[in-house]
Chains A and B, each alone.
Chain A
Amino acid sequence: MSAAVRVVGLAKHYGKGEALVRAVDDVDLEVASGEAVVVTGPSGCGKSTLLQLMGGLDLPTAGEVWLGGRRIDRDSERARARLRRDQVGFVFQDFHLLDELTAVENVELPALLAGTPSRQARRRALALLERVGLDDRVRHLPARLSGGQKQRVAVARALVNNPAVVLADEPTGNLDSAATTEVLRLFESLRADGQTLVVVSHDQRTAATADRMVSMRDGALIEDVVLGPSTAGTVDVLSASERA
């Protein structure tokens, strides 16, 4: 399998001297196309920064970032923006839906920004909302959706341009248990469909949706575990055992 995302010797430092913070420190990681990787670790260990560097939202202090076989850490902001539009889908912990847009308008937005004709963008957005189980909420504003529903809208938005990789930053961090299960089920189905996924999470249940689990501490990778073939219904099993 070819690498969808690859980082080599990646570092991101803030501050100077004694105040120097090594948010990401000499990280090597490769995510194959179609692979689902979960990045775990304690709060402040650099997981989110790593994800932002992989998606070209931020530039590293040192090291290389490769996306779809192309090195992006030396690209201009404009070039990285184009790459994000075409190849990356982001899912955020705080959803970051635009409050004034309905669910379907939020989902179709990246497609419209990419120049997709409006009818085609709307059709694609409606299909994705149906896929995430929100076909009865398409005209709802974010304020009228539950946390789980908002995150499912955000996932649909991340998928609308058929990205090569979906990068999710603590997608269940702001959700209750039931909503977490909804969203993890969705990730599990994405993985089953061969979508490349990198999910940052400190929720152990997220591992059930992944092929690999990478652990971080103090900005460095400390463990990289292949989880083996997953079994359908893992999320449900974990959720049931948690409830018990």
Chain B
Amino acid sequence: MSRVRLGVRLAGRDLRRRATETVLLFVALALAATTLTIGLVLHGQTAAPYAETRSRTRGPDVVAVLFPAPNQTVTAADRASLAAVAARPGVSDRSRAFPTTWTSITAGGITGVAELQGRDAGNSPVDRPQLVSGHWLTHGDGVVVERAFALAMDLSVGDRVELAGHAVPVVGIAVSAALPPYPQLCTIGCILDQPGWFSAEPGLVWASRQRVAGMATPQQPLVWFQYLRLRDAGSARAFAGRLTDSGPPAGRPELTAWQDVAARQAEQLASERTAVVFASTLLVVLALATLVVLVGGRMDDEVRRVGMLKAAGATPGFVTRLLLASYLAVGLVASLVGLVAGRLLAPRLISLSAGLLGRVGATSLSVGQAVTVVASVLVIVVMAAVVPAWRAARTSTVRALASSGRAPHRGGLLVAVSARLPAPALLGVRLAARRPRRATLTSLSVAVAVCGGIVVLYAQSSLHAERGDVGGPADPLVAQLHTVMTALTLLLALMAAVNLVFVTRASAVDARRSLAVARALGVSPAEAATALAIAQLLPAVVGLVVGGACGTVLYRALSSHSVSPSLTQLAGLAVATLVLSAALSAVPARIEARRPVADPLRQP
């Protein structure tokens, strides 16, 4: 017990002794834990929302749509075919047939196309849209708007919309699983026979049957929707397929199984999930890179302390456990802070597909997810620390006591090339060359952040190109993706910044004596600071190039429709990376260069 207490005391004092490194380690791990938490929360939500919405709205298993023949309307006789489908074996419940038409909708200066579905005031046996605000249709004149479309049109309950020139109040906002939410509604089928509507994406609006019937025109005749529930929901595709297989639907309804609607919605959410999973992976890589540098740097410093502990009787096992314990303690606290931060941030970043119910805001992190986050962070810590800790503990006591740190690497070619450069560049190149592993990790860290940035630029350009020429209301999912991707890019940049500051500081401490010698030989503090910054900028430039290539290749591999960002955007990212790298390196470099030159020269 006393050995445990001793270990805790020694680990605690070691962390306090090097408070700056401890804080940086903490920040890096907490950021990784935050992103992992956001990723897991989002994954949990995107996996279930359609199923949950379908269950809570008594969503249909099959959607039957009866279109009129060209230049004709659907007659009562035609509608008998809908009744025939509803009477087929396996159907357990059905809605009434709902008349549907398409009309222009305007509100607050935004104009779009509405798919207007005529509904009854009472509950339908199948498809009962769940209200998120307001109330359902009563005998009044109002309309209820599908939530994603309402978001795109910036509508809330009490607003008035113009439907083909008639002002109508919005009495409710609701979600439904019967049809894909805006802007995917037309994948089930639309008639958009109006000038300028060809590429429009309509949104669903529920109104009274009378209003819908009154809105129908020869160009926009009524189409009839009927929702069916089957005894075996899993057989929906087979049920729909049997009718479709018997030939084109001349006067027969088109059938769509709920699995196809679900697949369409999953497609919408997939890009959001991909963005988060991708960013989480990059952040974990960055966290690992930060830790490798951090632990490597600390272990160089630890070797002499290890020698002292072993000289005082500590076994290699005790020393290994002691070194690991201090990192694990920081990892544990950081992962808990990351969990809380991620839990608080997730609802702000993720609102799911606006047309689904989801559970955002109400969802709490499950115990399993929390354990996954903490375990992941601790595994990262152990992966980064166990080998150097084990190696340090097994260094002979005599060698450890005499240790003067890791010998620098000699980059012969860079030494020769740098001889022709001005003093700061000469020193900078040589400083970068003497620690190739650290330079590689700086490159990796910048590359990961740039890679993320490039993917975001590609994604935004592609989204803009997809929606840019359509006109009409904006896609709320696009705005949400922008928010998620921007937030994750900021997290990536923050982590890369922490990494860069730490690496510069580690390099400055490592090069303290070399720089003191250089200053004794006539290098000014400004030149020494510039040299340190250059030592970080060189690998950052390599990271920029590698990250740029990686981001381009990755996005093109992940996405089938990639539109290149403009040269200005790419140049902006490159310049911002270099300026930020230079600024972040300059701070610790200047602090180090301001130290009195005589001190490091006095130390043995």
Residues of A within 8 A of B (CB): 48, 52, 55, 57-58, 77-78, 81-86, 90, 92, 94, 96, 98-101, 105, 108-110, 112-115, 118, 121-122, 141, 143, 157, 161
Most chain A Cβ neighbours within 10 Å, of B409, B520, B523: B520
B400-431: CB near A (< 8 Å → 1, else 0) gives 00000001111100010001101100110010
Distance A99 CA – B422 CA, assembled complex (angstroms): 21
Distance A122 CA – B409 CA, assembled complex (angstroms): 22
Task: Return the chain B residue nearest A113 by Cβ.
Answer: B423
Residue from A83, A92, A112 in contact with B426 in the complex, judged by beta carbons closer than 8 Å: A112
Q: Give every chain A residue within 8 A of B596 (Cβ-Cβ).
A: 58
B517 touches A98 (CB 8 A): yes
Distance A55 CA – B423 CA, assembled complex (angstroms): 21
Q: List 19 A-B contacts (CB under 8 A).
A: A52-B598, A52-B601, A55-B520, A77-B524, A81-B525, A83-B522, A84-B519, A84-B521, A85-B521, A86-B522, A96-B516, A99-B408, A100-B415, A101-B410, A105-B415, A109-B518, A112-B423, A112-B426, A113-B522
Q: B58 within 8 Å of A by Cβ?
A: no
Residue from A86, A90, A94, A141 in contact with B520 in the complex, judged by beta carbons closer than 8 Å: A90
Shortest beta-carbon distance from A214 to chain B in Å: 20
Interface of B, helix, strand, loop or mixed by DSSP: helix
B410 touches A100 (CB 8 A): yes
Task: Return the chain B residue nearest A79 by Cβ.
Answer: B524
Given contacts A100-B408, A112-B419, contact A82 B522 (CB under 8 A): yes
B520 touches A84 (CB 8 A): yes
Q: Which of B492-530 contact A (CB under 8 A)?
A: 513-514, 516-527
B601 touches A92 (CB 8 A): yes
Given contacts A100-B415, A113-B423, A118-B420, contact A90 B407 (CB under 8 A): no
Residue from B513, B514, B520, B604 in contact with A57 in the complex, judged by beta carbons closer than 8 Å: B520
Distance A143 CA – B404 CA, assembled complex (angstroms): 13
Q: Give every chain A residue within 8 A of B522 (Cβ-Cβ).
A: 81-86, 110, 113-114, 161
Distance A68 CA – B523 CA, assembled complex (angstroms): 19
Q: Give every chain B residue within 8 A of A114 (Cβ-Cβ).
A: 522
Q: B242 within 8 Å of A by Cβ?
A: no
Most chain A Cβ neighbours within 10 Å, of B415, B433, B601: B601
Shortest beta-carbon distance from A48 to chain B in Å: 7
Task: Return the chain A residue nearest B417 by Cβ.
Answer: A118
Residue from B517, B521, B526 in contact with A78 in the complex, judged by beta carbons closer than 8 Å: B526
Q: B602 within 8 Å of A by Cβ?
A: yes
A94 touches B604 (CB 8 A): yes
Q: Give every chain B residue within 8 A of A92 (Cβ-Cβ).
A: 520, 601
Q: B337 within 8 Å of A by Cβ?
A: no
Distance A114 CA – B522 CA, assembled complex (angstroms): 8
Residues of B within 8 A of A (CB): 407-411, 415, 419-420, 422-423, 426-427, 430, 433-434, 513-514, 516-527, 596-598, 601-602, 604
Shortest beta-carbon distance from B599 to chain A in Å: 9
A78 touches B426 (CB 8 A): no
B513 touches A82 (CB 8 A): no
Distance A115 CA – B596 CA, assembled complex (angstroms): 24
Distance A105 CA – B526 CA, assembled complex (angstroms): 23
Q: A86-B522, A118-B420 are in contact. List 8 more A-B contacts (CB 8 A).
A: A52-B601, A92-B520, A108-B419, A109-B521, A110-B521, A113-B518, A113-B521, A122-B419
Given contacts A57-B597, A57-B601, A115-B423, contact A90 B521 (CB under 8 A): yes
Q: Give every chain B residue within 8 A of A57 (Cβ-Cβ).
A: 520, 597-598, 601
Shortest beta-carbon distance from A124 to chain B in Å: 13
Q: Give every chain B residue within 8 A of A112 (Cβ-Cβ).
A: 419, 423, 426
Task: Return the chain A residue nearest B600 by Cβ.
Answer: A96
Distance A112 CA – B419 CA, assembled complex (angstroms): 7
Distance A46 CA – B524 CA, assembled complex (angstroms): 25
Task: Return the chain A residue nearest B435 by Cβ.
Answer: A100
Interface of A, helix, strand, loop or mixed by DSSP: helix
Shortest beta-carbon distance from A94 to chain B in Å: 6
- The 7 lowest CB-CB distance pairs between A and B, nearest first, are A85-B522, A81-B524, A118-B419, A100-B410, A78-B524, A110-B521, A100-B408
Q: Give every chain B residue within 8 A of A143 (Cβ-Cβ).
A: 407
Distance A153 CA – B449 CA, assembled complex (angstroms): 45
Q: Give every chain A residue within 8 A of B597 (Cβ-Cβ).
A: 57-58
Distance A163 CA – B604 CA, assembled complex (angstroms): 26
B423 touches A98 (CB 8 A): no
Shortest beta-carbon distance from B198 to chain A in Å: 69
Distance A81 CA – B54 CA, assembled complex (angstroms): 76
Q: Give every chain B residue within 8 A of A110 (Cβ-Cβ).
A: 521-522
Residue from A96, A141, A161 in contact with B513 in the complex, judged by beta carbons closer than 8 Å: A96
Residue from A48, A55, A86, A100 in contact with B430 in the complex, judged by beta carbons closer than 8 Å: A100
Most chain B Cβ neighbours within 10 Å, of A55, A98, A115, A122: A98
Task: Return the chain A residue nearest B527 by Cβ.
Answer: A81
Task: Return the chain A residue nearest B597 by Cβ.
Answer: A57
Q: Give every chain B residue within 8 A of A90 (Cβ-Cβ).
A: 520-521
Residue from B422, B433, B525, B602 in contact with A115 in the complex, judged by beta carbons closer than 8 Å: B422
Q: Give every chain A residue within 8 A of B519 (Cβ-Cβ).
A: 81, 84
A96 touches B517 (CB 8 A): yes
Q: Give every chain A residue within 8 A of B410 (Cβ-Cβ).
A: 100-101, 141
Task: Return the chain B residue nearest A78 by Cβ.
Answer: B524
Distance A52 CA – B434 CA, assembled complex (angstroms): 28
Distance A113 CA – B517 CA, assembled complex (angstroms): 12
Task: Return the chain A residue nearest B603 by Cβ.
Answer: A94
Task: Return the chain B residue nearest A169 by Cβ.
Answer: B601
Shortest beta-carbon distance from B517 to chain A in Å: 5
Shortest beta-carbon distance from B586 to chain A in Å: 17
B524 touches A101 (CB 8 A): no
Task: Return the chain B residue nearest A110 by Cβ.
Answer: B521
Task: Return the chain A residue nearest B520 by Cβ.
Answer: A90
Shortest beta-carbon distance from B487 to chain A in Å: 43
Q: Give every chain B residue within 8 A of A105 (Cβ-Cβ).
A: 415, 419
Residue from B407, B420, B518 in contact with A99 in the complex, judged by beta carbons closer than 8 Å: B407
Task: Return the chain A residue nearest B410 by Cβ.
Answer: A100
Q: Give every chain B residue within 8 A of A82 (Cβ-Cβ).
A: 522, 524
Q: Give every chain A residue within 8 A of B527 (Cβ-Cβ).
A: 81
B409 touches A100 (CB 8 A): yes
Task: Return the chain A residue nearest B522 by Cβ.
Answer: A85
Distance A48 CA – B603 CA, assembled complex (angstroms): 12
Q: Give every chain B residue within 8 A of A78 (Cβ-Cβ).
A: 524-526
Shortest beta-carbon distance from B604 to chain A in Å: 6
Distance A98 CA – B521 CA, assembled complex (angstroms): 12
Distance A48 CA – B422 CA, assembled complex (angstroms): 31
Task: Return the chain B residue nearest A109 by Cβ.
Answer: B521
Task: Return the chain B residue nearest A160 by Cβ.
Answer: B521
Q: Give every chain B residue within 8 A of A58 (Cβ-Cβ).
A: 596-598
Q: Give every chain A residue within 8 A of B434 (Cβ-Cβ).
A: 100
Given contacts A58-B596, A143-B407, contact A98 B601 (CB under 8 A): no
Task: Return the chain B residue nearest A114 by Cβ.
Answer: B522
Distance A81 CA – B514 CA, assembled complex (angstroms): 15
Q: Give every chain B residue within 8 A of A94 (Cβ-Cβ).
A: 604
